[in-house]
Amino acid sequence: MKRKPDLQIPGPLGRRQRPWRALWLRSLLPPLTVLGVVLSRALDLMLALLLMAMLAPLLLLRGVVARGREGRIFDREPLVGRFRAPFERLYFAGSTPGRGLAVLLNILRGDLAVAGPRPLTAREAAVVGVEAAVRFTVRPGVFSPYRLKSRTGVAYAPEAQIDSDYAYGQSARGDAGLVVRSLIGEVLGGGEAPTPPILEFFGVPIVNTTMPEAVDWIAARAVGGDPALLAFVNPDCLNIAYVDAEYRRILLDAARVLPDGIGIHIGCRMLGVALQANVNGTDLFPQLCERAAQTGLGLFLLGARPGIAEAVAANMQAQFPGLRIDGVQDGYFDPADEDAVIDRINASGAAILLVAFGVPRQEKWLARNHARLTLPVRMGVGGLFDFYSGRIPRAPVWMREIGLEWTWRLMQEPGRMWRRYVIGNPLFLYRVWRQARGGETS
């Protein structure tokens, strides 16, 4: 009997080829695509007509007011829509509330969808590169993914990338989720406000910056300049600084303090200013690792339970080939071994030290050993290692987009987190309210 060969790979990855199946799937793709577009447009029409029917008296009144006061019903803004076709976005004339309701007519006409990329001006559209041109294959939307992320300070990627991701993954379900999240984000994000370079809570200055700029600053300080302590503060940190004079002094002496969390965002609104971005250490870390892998900067990871820092190092080096993790050390070493730990950190060749002892212990440790450490950049990162080791999962993206990551943390560790969030968050907002009214700040 003729022996059958051991190795048989007639198709990709060893599967038997089925040309008829591939042809069948390819033949279904165009009608399914068309069906998705038709369904999306039908939902937009239904929603616009429903809202217009419900709001008909208000729309009519707003049009009459515009005509009577301004001599015209609509103001028009020239924009660029799907397939780069120009259109005019409609607003009711004048500054009376309800000006934006005229956009329902744009949805009815097909200029805009309920959800989609932000409509661009002609000048903005002219500079969109080929790699992001896919954004013009879908209708621009009243609610856009970039605006949602911007309102809650998590628009870390460029707008072109966010728009492209949306265009490639658009679905009716995704659009519905975007609308709901956007409505929540509009409430949390508040209106337009000035963005001063420095924010101040209880006398602690916080740099109001963007994520890319923060990464640039760390990379620059890591290759030159005086040793720098970088701190991240959330409402819990500022509550501690309110009563802990030593920790407060450390923050005042730090090279930079960066804002972390939706609580800071809401606090800014109460003070009449706006936060540029939620520059928290957890979201900054992978971007810092990417930059370090590109530039050859080494990191030293200190803190957390035994084995956690090693897991972080392995995970990040797998994600960013070439990343130098020059040393790891858990945070449970004996105080008698502190000198040896510091010597090992200094001898590692790393440029950036990340310490995960928790607030304020990590900042106090760094301040106490400031003169003994030789690494240019030192930062306290709280529970960051737990997330990137995989020990604790992060909140889903949709929760982060609407500023509810803290509720996820509360659900995960209620026994440890309830005081921070259930008592601490209202206490922080009360103190900010007093600051806004000119009360004591410390």
> Is 21 inside a domain boundary?
no
The pLDDT tens digits for 325-341 are 999 999 999 999 999 99
> Is 348 inside a domain boundary?
yes
Rounded Cα distance between 412 and 389, Å, is 16
Same domain, 324 and 390: yes
Lowest mean pLDDT among 26-40, 52-66, 245-259, 305-319: 26-40
> Is 13 inside a domain boundary?
no
Total count of residues recorded for the chain: 442
For the cut 50, the answer to whether the pLDDT of residue 250 exceeds it is yes
- pLDDT band with cut points at 50, 70 and 90 for residue 428: very high
Query: For residues 287, 290, 291 and 296, what is the CA-based torsion angle, rounded to 10 degrees?
Result: 150
Mark 242-276 as b/e (b = at least 16 C-beta within 10 Å).
bebeebbebbeebbbbbbbbbbbbbbbbebebbbb
State the DSSP string of 117-129.
Answer: SPPB-HHHHHT--
Rounded Cα distance between 433 and 106, Å, is 40
Q: Kindly state the tokens that stand for 267.
A: 């606090």
Per-residue H/E/C for 398-425: HHHHCCCHHHHHHHHCHHHHHHHHHHHH
11: left (phi over 0), alpha (psi -120 to 50) or beta: beta
Please report where in the chains the tokens 């949805």 appear, as a residue: 107
Provide the domain count of the chain: 2
Lowest mean pLDDT among 29-43, 72-86, 122-136: 29-43
Residue of 21 and 402 predicted with greater confidence: 402
- Is 395 exposed, middle or buried (CB count within 10 Å of its CB: 0-12, 13-18, 19+)? middle
End position of a domain, from candidates 140, 169, 188? 188
> Is 370 inside a domain boundary?
yes
The pLDDT tens digits for 113-147 are 999 999 999 999 999 999 899 999 999 999 999 99
> Is 43 inside a domain boundary?
yes
pLDDT for residue 40: 82
Q: Rg of the chain over CA atoms, in angstroms?
A: 27
- If you average pLDDT over residues 395-423, what whole number do you get? 90
Residue 110, domain extent: 30-188
Please report where in the chains the tokens 């940190």 appear, as a residue: 237
Same domain, 212 and 153: no
Same domain, 288 and 384: yes
For the cut 80, the answer to whether the pLDDT of residue 93 exceeds it is yes
- If you average pLDDT over residues 30-48, what whole number do you get? 75
For the cut 70, the answer to whether the pLDDT of residue 44 exceeds it is yes
- If you average pLDDT over residues 264-281, what whole number do you get? 93
Same domain, 360 and 322: yes
Lowest mean pLDDT among 33-37, 83-87, 290-294, 316-320: 33-37
Same domain, 329 and 184: no
For the cut 80, the answer to whether the pLDDT of residue 311 exceeds it is yes
For the cut 50, the answer to whether the pLDDT of residue 12 exceeds it is no
Secondary structure (3-state) at 340: helix
φ, ψ at 30 (rounded to 5°): -60, -50
Same domain, 267 and 402: yes
Mark 66-101 as b/e (b = at least 16 C-beta within 10 Å).
beeeeeebbbeeebbbbeeeebebbbbbbeeebbeb
pLDDT for residue 284: 97
pLDDT for residue 13: 47
Same domain, 156 and 274: no
% residues pLDDT > 70 (the chain): 90
Same domain, 386 and 299: yes
Q: Kindly state the tokens that stand for 174.
A: 């995704």
- DSSP code of 348? T
- DSSP code of 191? S
- pLDDT band with cut points at 50, 70 and 90 for residue 237: very high
Q: What is the mean pLDDT of the chain?
A: 90
> Is 223 inside a domain boundary?
yes
- If you average pLDDT over residues 61-66, what whole number do you get? 96
pLDDT for residue 9: 45
State the DSSP string of 218-263.
Answer: HHHHHTSSS-EEEEEE-HHHHHHHHH-HHHHHHHHHSSEEEE-SHH
- If you average pLDDT over residues 169-182, what whole number do you get? 88
Q: What is the largest CA-CA distance in the chain?
A: 97
- If you average pLDDT over residues 140-167, what whole number do you get? 91
Rounded Cα distance between 323 and 293, Å, is 4
Same domain, 267 and 403: yes
> Is 366 inside a domain boundary?
yes
Question: Contact, 73 vs 66, CB < 8 A?
Answer: yes
**Where are the extended beta strands (E) located within 273-351?**
298-303, 324-329
End position of a domain, from candidates 188, 210, 232? 188
pLDDT for residue 11: 45
pLDDT for residue 267: 94
> Is 1 inside a domain boundary?
no
- If you average pLDDT over residues 45-59, what whole number do you get? 95
Q: Contacts by 97-105 with C-beta closer than 8 Å and gap 24+?
A: 98/58, 98/62, 99/62, 99/75, 101/55, 101/58, 101/59, 101/62, 102/62, 102/74, 103/142, 104/48, 104/51, 104/52, 104/55, 104/59
pLDDT for residue 439: 59
End position of a domain, from candidates 123, 154, 188? 188
Residue type, 63: G
Same domain, 182 and 260: no
- DSSP code of 170? -
- If you average pLDDT over residues 8-35, what whole number do you get? 53
CA 324 to chain centre: 26
pLDDT for residue 282: 94
Same domain, 274 and 181: no
- What's the predicted TM-score (pTM) here? 0.82
Same domain, 269 and 326: yes
Residue type, 372: R
